[in-house]
Amino acid sequence: MAPVSPLVAETEAIVKQFEYTDEDVNRGVKEFLRQMNEGLEKDGTSLAQIPTYVTGVPNGTEKGLYMAVDLGGTNFRVCSVKLNGDGTFNITSAKVAVPKHLMVAKTAQELFAFLALQIKKFLEKHHGDHFEAHIRRRMTVSSPDGYKDEHAFRMGFTFSFPVQQMGINKGTLIRWTKGFDIPDAVGKDVCALLQDEIDRLQLPVKVAALVNDTVGTLMAHSYGAPGTHGAVLGAIFGTGTNGAYLEKLSNLKKPLVGDYDKSTGDMVINIEWGSFDNQLNVLPQTPWDTALNQQSVNPGFQMYEKLVSGMFLGEILRLAINDLMKNPRISFFRDDNSSTNDLRSTTDIAETSPIYKQWAVDSTILSVAAGDHTPELSLLRKELDDSLQIHAAAREDAQAFQAIAAAIGTRAARLSAVAIAAVVLKTGKLTDPAYEGQPIDIGVDGSLVEHYPYFRGTIQKALECVEGIGKEGADRIRIGLAEDGSGVGAALIALVAAGMEKHSTNEEYIGELRETAKTAASADNEKATTD
Ligand code: ADP
Ligand code: MG
């Protein structure tokens, strides 16, 4: 056997620190369950377990046009979801990146004014008729109590930050995450903030429902999923990570402030699992994780998210790679002359390379690394060249980069399995006779889970080692992408909320809603997208 090269040995030493064993997974699941229960009992715990007031409250309409907006962390999406009433469903959507300076704006108004403006542009572009009719009506109405618009679009507002929800369209921001930091907004009702800016632009839109993206994903996947039971979990792996599931009201021990429908006996809980184990009872911490946390805007918070989600994986990789570059025992991304480089050139890194800049390495490169099966790693080397300005990287160096990226991605997926396993066990569905022999559906959304190769496969494999799940249980757990989950989900919740304005409870309605969303899934191919 050939001796191991110093580079391979040093790479191995880094990779080893990202190992997250089966035993670690099991310890993680037990602690996750403990923290879930704690969060159901009282406030101020690491897992906030936030009641969402979504209990499946019915209305009676399944026809009409609903709007949905989604402030995710990286992008702002605006869409309209049209329920045709004849069983079809169309989605039109637009997406814009949130400018960095608005994420840390002085006032909440600056950010929300930008959001309202995007809604205006969307309406003008895609719903010009409706928009103009509204303006005409507004100009001709002169009632003493002002202009009341039943024709206004009902909109679901997906706001994926921790919110203390007070009702279906009311909730105050607890804290920012994912790099946002606008202290002025904390403690304010985010629906009111958005409605104020919408009104300032005189748009025919009413913020009807406040939706967490996890809840939207759960709703959309539940109603759309084939089979008799809905999804047990909606989960996000995008800029951040989080999950929502249906909990029995009897398990919810802490007091609820707002009104809600008690007839279903259930309530959707927003776990806010990005904060799992902030106290670091069980979470792993490499020196790079520790450094990342210390340099973040919220040290000590979102500790699980910092190991798992898209916003952080690129930075963990960047920090580890920088250490390897500084390692005096090897010459990584450095060669003295072209004889040591299979490209017959010498590696050269631009001074302005993102590799030298905090937060500048996008986690997309982990996906490229994981997906490159070419013998010369030509895809990854091209990406190193294009996006990191690391020119003419040697194959050995690209291999080291790939191994470390894989270690970070694999750990993220195995940690994701911890949350998923805990929720599945918490719901008891694996042993529920009503579910016997049936799949346990989990809806997921977010660029990381969508694009990182094998992310779901790695989760699935890790689930097999969990006590109480095993191979047999893992085979029943079906992790499916809830495409357009937040859009369709938010529209569905807006529809429920709009119904609550006019109707009292109507049992048949849930069934209709289910039908509508099933059609939504099948009408996927006819959606118009302006992304
Ligand atoms: P949001 O969180 O705003 O809803 P997304 O679900 O699109 O948006 O997630 C964006 C995050 O996903 C960013 O952190 C980005 O770096 C990461 N990301 C985007 N594409 C990929 C990819 N191909 N592989 C891994 N991560 C990705
Ligand atoms: Mg999102």
Q: What is the pLDDT of residues 8-20, one digit of tens each?
A: 999 999 999 999 9
pLDDT computed for residue 85 by the predictor? 53
By percentage, how much of the chain surpasses pLDDT 70? 86
Our mutation pick for probing the ligand 1 site, out of 447, 456, 531, counting the most ligand atoms within 8 A of Cβ, is 447
CB 389 within 8 A of CB 350: yes
Q: Does the pLDDT of residue 242 top 90, yes or no? A: yes
Q: What is the pLDDT of residue 223?
A: 65
Question: Tokens 């064993």 — which residue?
Answer: 21
Q: Which ligand is nearest to the CA of 103?
A: 1
Instruction: Give the single-character DSSP code of 147.
Output: -
Enumerate residues 6+ apart whose C-beta is below 8 A from 14: 320, 323, 324, 404, 407
Catalytic residue among 27, 175, 478, 514: 175
* Ligand 1 center from residue 149 Cα (angstroms): 37
Residue 239 per-residue DSSP state: S
**Residue 529 exposed, middle or buried by CB count within 10 Å (0-12, 13-18, 19+):** exposed
Q: 448 CA distance to ligand 1 centroid (A)?
A: 5
Residue 11 Cα to ligand 2 midpoint, Å, equals 33
> What separation, in Å, do the N-terminal and C-terminal C-alpha atoms of the chain show?
52
**Ligand nearest to the Cα of 309, by number:** 1
The string of DSSP letters for 141-193 reads: ---TT----TTSEEEEEEE-S-EEEEETTEEEE----TT---GGGTTSBHHHH
Give the angle 283-285-286 at the CA atoms, nearest 5°.
Answer: 150
Q: Do the beta carbons of residue 201 and residue 218 sit within 8 Å?
A: no
505 vs 11: which has the higher pLDDT: 11
Q: Would the CA dihedral through 247, 249, 253, 258 be positive or negative?
A: positive
DSSP string, 401-422: HHHHHHHHHHHHHHHHHHHHHH
- Residue 450 CA, ligand 1 centroid: distance in Å: 9
| Binding pocket residue ranges, ligand 1, CB within 6 Å | 72-75, 238-239, 310-311, 362-364, 366-367, 446-448, 451-452
Q: Tokens at residue 449, please?
A: 């889970």
Determine which residue's CA is closest to atom 2 belonging to ligand 1. Answer: 239
CA–CA gap between residue 423 and residue 429 (Å, rounded): 10
The least confident of 187-196, 209-218, 282-291, 367-376 is 209-218
Q: How far apart are CA 385 and CA 400, in angstroms?
A: 16
User: Which of the four pLDDT bands, split at 50, 70 and 90, describes residue 227?
Assistant: low
Task: Report the length, in residues, of the chain.
Answer: 531
Percent pLDDT > 90 in the chain is 67
Secondary element (H or E) of residue 477: strand 477-481
Cα 203 from Cα 237, distance rounded (Å): 32
Range in 145-154, 197-206, 332-341 the model is least confident about: 145-154
The encoded tokens of residue 12 equal: 């191995």
pLDDT tens, residue by residue, 406-425? 999 999 999 999 999 999 99
Phi and psi, residue 324, nearest 5°: -65, -35
**Active site annotation includes 531:** no
Tokens 């979102």 label which residue?
302
Sheet strands (E) in 200-356: 205-211, 233-237, 241-248, 266-270, 348-349
513 pLDDT above the threshold of 80:
no
- Ligand 1 atom with minimal separation from the 486 CA: 4
Which amino acid, residue 23? E
**Cα angle: 514, vertex 516, 518; to 5 degrees:** 70
169-173: long-range pairs with CB below 8 Å, 24+: 169/207, 169/208, 169/209, 169/210, 169/497, 170/210, 170/258, 171/210
Query: What ligand has the least distance to the C-alpha of 240?
Result: 1
Short-list 325, 327, 413, CA closest to 367: 413
| Ligand 1 centroid from CA 266, angstroms | 32
Contact 443, 482 (CB under 8 A): yes
Mutate which of 74, 77, 359, 456 for ligand 1 pocket (most atoms within 8 A of beta carbon): 74
- What is the structure's pLDDT at 531? 37
Counting ligands in written order, which one lies closest to the CA of residue 310? 1
Q: What angle do CA 28, 32, 35 make, to 5 degrees?
A: 140
Q: Which residues contact 166 (CB under 8 A, 6 or more apart)?
A: 172, 189, 257, 258
Q: How far apart are CA 262 and CA 267, in angstroms?
A: 9
Residue 274 predicted with pLDDT over 90: yes
Atom of ligand 1 nearest to the CA of 70: 4
Cβ distance 333 to 385 under 8 Å?
Answer: no
pLDDT tens for residues 171-210? 999 999 988 999 999 999 999 999 999 999 999 999 999 9
Cα–Cα distance list, 136 to 139, 144, 154, 466 (Å): 5, 18, 19, 61
Strand 348-349 relative to strand 233-237, pairing = unpaired
Q: Which of 24, 70, 189, 213 is catalytic?
A: 213
Lowest mean pLDDT among 18-27, 95-104, 128-137: 128-137
Residue 129 annotated as catalytic? no
Separation of 311 CA from ligand 1 center, angstroms?
7
3-state secondary structure of 71: strand
For residue 144, with 0-12 CB atoms within 10 Å meaning exposed, 13-18 middle and 19 or more buried, which class applies?
Answer: exposed
Kindly give the number of the ligand 1 atom that is closest to the alpha carbon of 213: 4
Whether 245 shows a pLDDT value over 70: the answer reads yes
Quote the CA–CA distance of 458 and 122 in Å, as a whole number. Answer: 39
Annotated catalytic residue 24? no
